[in-house]
Amino acid sequence: MESMPALFITFGAAALLTSWVTLFITSSKEDFTWGLCTVLLPPLSYCYALFRLDLAKESIALAILGVALVLAGIA
């Protein structure tokens, strides 16, 4: 594997993990149930973030950046 695609994939995965952690913190502050769903069902937490975009816009932006970096590293 070349060095640049590996770097993109690593930074993309780190950005996705960071977005999940910030989304966990945001949803836990909002409601304990959503915080628990974020831990147990991470894809559901991103659906929550789309509906509560006013609170979770940073997490969504970081997730989009992470997905873009991973896709750039794969392509």
pLDDT at 54: 92
Q: Is the pTM of this model over 0.85?
A: yes
What is the mean predicted confidence (pLDDT) over 37-54? 88
CA distances from 2 to 6, 27, 67 (A): 6, 38, 19
How many domains does the chain divide into?
1
- Asked if pLDDT for residue 1 goes beyond 80, the answer is no
Q: Which residue range is the domain that position 35 belongs to?
A: 3-74
Q: What span, in angstroms and rounded, lies between the C-alpha atoms of 9 and 40?
A: 24
What are 30-45's pLDDT values in tens digits?
Answer: 889 888 988 998 888 8
DSSP 22-58: HHHHHHHHH-HHHHHHHHH-HHHHHHHHHHTHHHHHH
